[in-house]
Each structure stands twice: as structure tokens, then as C-alpha cells.
A and B are shown apart, each in its own frame.
Chain A
Amino acid sequence: MSHGFYIGLSYAVSALIVAVLIGWVWWDGKARQKELAELERAGVRRRSSAPAGEAQ
């Protein structure tokens, strides 16, 4: 008994979800980097070059 359809479909669904996930993370990263670059170009620098205490 071979159920090629179900096996193929389940692998395809998993691949699709993983691909969407990777794509989303990748695209999100690219978009954020672009925004940062734009801000940089607009002349907005980080408050300080000292590394500590940015988020808190």
C-alpha cells in the first residue's frame, strides 16, 4: 500500500511552510536593513557610539 499522494502532499506542505517562514524572516531583515540605511543617509545617527544601554 503506497500513499504517494499523501506523502508528497505532506512534504510539500511542510516545505511550503518552511519556505514562507524563511522568506518572511529574510524579507523582514532586508526591509529593516534598508530602513536603517535610509536613516543613516538622512543623517540620523545613533544616540551614542558607546555600546551599553540602548534598550534599557
Chain B
Amino acid sequence: MTESLAITKFSDLANPARFLSLTGRIIPWLAGLTLCLFAIGLYLSFTTEGDYQQGDTVRIMYVHVPAAWLSMMCYTVMALSAIGTLVWRHPLADVSHKAAAPLGAAFTLIALATGSLWGKPMWGTWWVWDARLTSVFILFLMYLGLIALNRAMDDPSKAARVSAVFILVGFVNIPIIKFSVEWWNTLHQPASVVRLDGPTIDPEFLTPLLVMAVAFTLLFFTLHLMAMRNEIWRRRVGAQRRLAARMASREA
């Protein structure tokens, strides 16, 4: 009895029409909040003092680090949605992880590009096979592979289920990849690259960093909701086109 109640609640939540009306109300607020936070964050990140060691380049951190965090958070969101797809067959979960993949790829690209631009003045090269950069790069490849996988299949629900399996396998693998890349890095490279990270970060930098991180997170959720809405519309268009074609053939 309680179980069936829970199931009806879930199907309520799965109802795309209700989801659409909800997102329609939430998105403007989220977008406004994101904009405000970005304004504050950008103001803070350009007015705070530079680091005595890294100079003004520390300002790159305010975009780089939040983007890197988000690239991981996005994969976590996708993995949770993948569980939703496989366990509950929740249609919104299908839509969610499909919509998140391009966003994750974009944030990972930002992290990679800014990391490379940070590396040039700091280390003297555009690219270092540093443990973090390398594992983020592998993550980027995984995002692109998932997008390609989603594109390659015609049936959306089958594509969602198959790519959900792959997302979960990848999610289990990410810690192993991270660990192995770190091992490989310490093996091949003397630890000469000292970076500003870890818990000893100055509170001077922490405030803008946190504001920017929250701003980026909200940006992600805004775009994610919008992309999910687009995906639902796309499926609805497809369904109605099929319906129209069937009716036309019946008339003929």
C-alpha cells in the first residue's frame, strides 16, 4: 500500500507537464540570482590583492577552480540521474543526464583552457602532464564519448539506458583513473610544480573563490534545467510528428 503510494508520488514527479510549469517559474529567479552572484564575484575577483608569489595570475584561479569543481559535480549529477534511469525508469532522469553531458563538457573545457593559460606564465609551457590536468583531460574525453554515444542512437529511451550504464561504469572508474594518474605523475616527474592549492589558501582569495563557485553552480543548474526543458520539448515534437504521420497514413 505504502509502496504504491510512493510510486504514484514518483510518477507525479515524473510528469513532464508539471516539471515544465515548475521550471518555467524557477528559471527566471535562478538566472537573476546567477547574474547577481557573477557580478559580485567578478567585482571581488578583480579588486582583491594579487598573491605575492603568483602575482595577478591568481585571478585566473577564480574561474579555473570553480569550473574544475563543476566538471566533477556535473558527472556526479549525471551518475545520480543514471541510477534514476536504471532503477526507477524515471523519464526525467533520462532527460537529465542527456542534458548534462554537453554542459559538463563545456565546463571541463573551461577548466582545461584556463588551466593551460595559467600554466603558461607560471610553468613556462601551455601544457604540463600534471596529475590534475591529465585526469581532467580524461574526464573531458569521457564527456565527449558520452555525447557521441547519445547522438549515435535513434531511440531516445534506449540511448538513455545504454548511456546510463556507461556513465555508471565511468563513475566507478574515475577514482581509479585519478589514483593511477597521480601515481604515474609522481613516478615520472620530480615534484617541482608547487601550486597554490590545498587547505592553506588565504582567506583573501577564499571569498571571491567561493562566490564564484556558487555563481558557477547556479549557472550550471539554470542551464541544466533549460536544457532539460528543451529535451522534453524535443521529444514532444518527435512524438507529435510521429502521431501526425500515422494519422496522415491512416487517412490515405
Instruction: Judge: A and B partners, yes or no.
Output: yes
B20 → chain A closest CB, angstroms: 10
**A-B interface, 9 closest residue pairs, ranked by CB to CB distance from nearest:** A55-B91, A32-B233, A10-B117, A1-B55, A10-B114, A3-B121, A44-B244, A28-B230, A35-B237
How distant is the Cα of A9 from the Cα of B63 in the complex, in angstroms?
A: 12
Please count how many residues in chain B sit with their CB below 8 Å of the partner chain's CB atoms.
Answer: 47
B60 with A7: CB separation less than 8 A? yes
In the complex, per-residue mask of B85-107: 1 if CB is within 8 Å of any chain A CB, else 0:
00001010010000000110010
Q: What are 12 A-B residue pairs whose CB atoms fall within 8 Å in the complex?
A: A3-B55, A6-B57, A6-B118, A6-B120, A10-B118, A14-B113, A39-B240, A44-B247, A53-B11, A55-B94, A56-B14, A56-B91
B5 → chain A closest CB, angstroms: 15
B110 with A14: CB separation less than 8 A? yes
Whether a CB of chain A sits under 8 angstroms from the CB of B18 is yes
Chain B positions 207-228 with a Cβ under 8 Å from a chain A Cβ: 219, 223, 226-227
How distant is the Cα of A35 from the Cα of B108 in the complex, in angstroms?
A: 32
How distant is the Cα of A31 from the Cα of B215 in the complex, in angstroms?
A: 27
Residues of B within 8 A of A (CB): 11, 14-18, 50, 55-57, 59-60, 63-64, 67, 89, 91, 94, 102-103, 106, 109-110, 113-114, 117-118, 120-121, 157, 219, 223, 226-227, 229-230, 233-237, 239-241, 243-244, 247
In the complex, per-residue mask of A9-28: 1 if CB is within 8 Å of any chain B CB, else 0:
11101100110111011101
Query: B110 is contacted by which of A17, A29, A47, A56 (Cβ under 8 Å)?
Result: A17
User: Looking at chain A's contact residues, is the secondary structure mostly helix, strand, loop, or mixed?
Assistant: helix
* Among B17, B18, B64: residue with most chain A CB under 10 A: B17
User: Looking at chain B's contact residues, is the secondary structure mostly helix, strand, loop, or mixed?
Assistant: helix
A51 with B15: CB separation less than 8 A? yes
A3 with B56: CB separation less than 8 A? yes
A6 with B113: CB separation less than 8 A? no
Residues on A with C-beta less than 8 A from B64 are 10
B241 with A36: CB separation less than 8 A? no
Q: How many A-B contacts if CB must be within 8 Å?
A: 111
A24 → chain B closest CB, angstroms: 8
A29 with B109: CB separation less than 8 A? no
How distant is the Cα of A53 from the Cα of B15 in the complex, in angstroms?
A: 7
B117 with A9: CB separation less than 8 A? yes
B113 with A17: CB separation less than 8 A? yes
B236 with A54: CB separation less than 8 A? yes
Extra contacts besides A17-B109, A21-B106, A36-B240 (4): CB < 8 Å: A4-B56, A6-B118, A14-B67, A25-B223
How distant is the Cα of A51 from the Cα of B247 in the complex, in angstroms?
A: 22
Residues on B with C-beta less than 8 A from A28 are 227, 230, 234
A3 with B237: CB separation less than 8 A? no
B113 with A13: CB separation less than 8 A? yes
B239 with A54: CB separation less than 8 A? yes
